[in-house]
Amino acid sequence: MATADDAAALARRHYALDCVAEPLDGEHDLNFRLTGDGRRYVLKFHRDAGDSRPLDLQDRILDRLATDAPALAAPGLIRTGDGRPRV
């Protein structure tokens, strides 16, 4: 199971974000609040590594909201340093 230290290390490695990670409650995924660079983020570890369809859907929804409804207070998808939606 991923720890807060794992989450912070992943954020540094893939997102160049120096942060503090705190566990958040979640029904299915392992979620962490990341605080760094004066902002807050949520990092999710998806438990079903073999089935990416739920993640693909979430990515498309977040991209669509950012494009079609930028004024809506919805979370944004932060891509990795090489442009991937997730690692």
pLDDT at 69: 92
Report yes or no on 85 lying in a domain: no
- Residue 17's domain comprises 4-68
The number of helix segments (H) and strand segments (E) in the chain equals 2, 3
Encoded tokens for 77: 């998808």
Q: Residue 85: what pLDDT?
A: 86
Residues 6+ apart with CB under 8 A from 72: 65
* Domain presence at residue 55: yes
In-domain check, residue 79? no
pLDDT per residue as tens, the chain (87 positions): 889 999 999 999 999 999 999 999 988 789 999 999 999 999 988 877 677 888 899 999 999 999 999 899 888 888 988 988 888
Residue 13 lies in a domain: yes
CB 36 within 8 A of CB 18: yes
Domain-embedded: residue 14: yes
pLDDT of residue 50: 75
Judge whether 34 lies within some domain. Answer: yes
CA 14, CA 26: separation in Å to the nearest integer? 23
Give the number of domains in the chain. Answer: 1
